[in-house]
Amino acid sequence: MTALIMQIIWLRRRLFLLVMCLTFLALAIGIFAIPQRVTVRSSIEIGSTTTYEKQEPFEPPEQVARRIPSVYGPAALLAMAGKGTSPSILSALQNPNVESIGRSVVVVSTVEPSAENEAKEFQNALADQVIKQQAPRAQALRENIAANIASATKASDNLGQEVSSAVKEIERINALSDGLRGQIESQRGNLATLYQRAGVAQQPGERSTVEAQIRELQEQISSQTSLMGRLTLERADLTRDVARARRQYEAQTEALAEAQLKQKTFNETRISLPPSLMPARSASRSLSLLVVALAISILVAFGIVVLLHKIAEREI
């Protein structure tokens, strides 16, 4: 079967080559006659800041992407029309390809080479509208971060001073308690001595004097013991206050660190890729189309040769 086909092609090789060349030439002319179009591409990075240790945009990029063809695009085209831009160019720019990738919004316009500048102007206008729309939100977030930093700093300073004052007061109470404890021990020693003197006193007057001294020392010991009890309670209260203030201080320190991180990682909405020209069709694609055209030409030439051969057999 293959040998028969090859024989048919060989017998009509001139016709085969002629049809193949004419078909390939017609297809090649058609391929290169297709108007060359260019692609203008730009990217807008939506502003972001750190939230719970993750960089989050001010607004979901997909929402911004949905507004571009329905809100920002018509406004930009209307402004360009007011400047005298051709209606055909405005029509070509009417439906840009918009998609969100990560925190960025990518805008792609495919136009005639003559409309390159208008496409770039159109995409710049879109970016300006997005940046302008995001500006109030960015300003509010920036002010909120600054307020949080100021509040956390003030609270941390106040709590630090509170802890320092309470610690000093506890140290003062400890020193006073140690002094009172020493005095009580000394007075108890003196009291024991007085009890011994009272036990051996012979004269009534001497005994009365010693007993008076004993009562006085007992009153002093009782008063100082009561004072130590109050100091102990006060120290316990201060210790609880110090623990509470330190926990609050740590919390405010963490809040301050988080606010400072937000301020450090704060990013404004910006044009990450200015409108740039990219060829819509590369040389490799043209070569691929020519290869396909060659294959079609061979098939067409083969079909015509086989058809003519069958017609010739019927006539015979």
Is residue 65 situated within a structural domain?
Answer: no
Q: Are residues 241 and 301 in the same domain?
A: no
Is residue 135 situated within a structural domain?
Answer: no
Q: Are residues 196 and 292 in the same domain?
A: no
pTM, entire model: 0.62
In the predicted model, what is the mean pLDDT of the chain?
Answer: 87
Q: Which two tokens stand for residue 21?
A: 């060349």
Burial 202-222 (b: 16+ CB within 10 A, else e): eeeeeeeebeebbeebeeebe
CATH number at residue 167: 1.10.287.1490
Q: Are residues 291 and 192 in the same domain?
A: no
Q: Are residues 242 and 296 in the same domain?
A: no
What pLDDT digit, counting tens, does each position of 48-58 carry?
Answer: 988 777 888 98
End-to-end CA distance of the chain: 21
Is residue 104 situated within a structural domain?
Answer: no
Exposed, middle or buried by CB within 10 Å (0-12, 13-18, 19+), for 180? middle
Give the domain range for residue 230: 156-264
Q: Are residues 252 and 164 in the same domain?
A: yes
Q: Who's near 185: CB < 8 A, 6+ residues apart? A: none
Structure confidence at residue 124 as a pLDDT band (50, 70, 90): very high
Is residue 290 situated within a structural domain?
Answer: yes
Q: How many domains does the chain have?
A: 2
Is residue 218 situated within a structural domain?
Answer: yes
Q: Are residues 298 and 240 in the same domain?
A: no
Give the Cα-Cα-Cα angle 27, 28, 31 (nearest 5 degrees).
85
Structure confidence at residue 59 as a pLDDT band (50, 70, 90): very high
Q: Are residues 168 and 248 in the same domain?
A: yes
Q: Are residues 175 and 258 in the same domain?
A: yes
Is residue 177 situated within a structural domain?
Answer: yes
What pLDDT digit, counting tens, does each position of 251-307 carry?
Answer: 999 999 989 988 998 999 999 999 998 865 555 666 788 888 889 988 888 888 878
**Could you give the count of Cα atoms lying within 13 Å of 94 in the half-sphere of its Cβ?**
8
Is residue 16 situated within a structural domain?
Answer: yes
Q: Which two tokens stand for residue 231?
A: 């100091």
What pLDDT digit, counting tens, does each position of 155-209 carry?
Answer: 999 999 999 999 999 999 999 999 989 998 998 888 888 888 777 766 777 778 8
Q: Are residues 168 and 260 in the same domain?
A: yes
CA 213 to chain centre: 80
Looking at residue 63, its amino acid is Q
Q: What CA–CA distance (Å, rounded) separates 147 from 270?
A: 24
Is residue 146 situated within a structural domain?
Answer: no
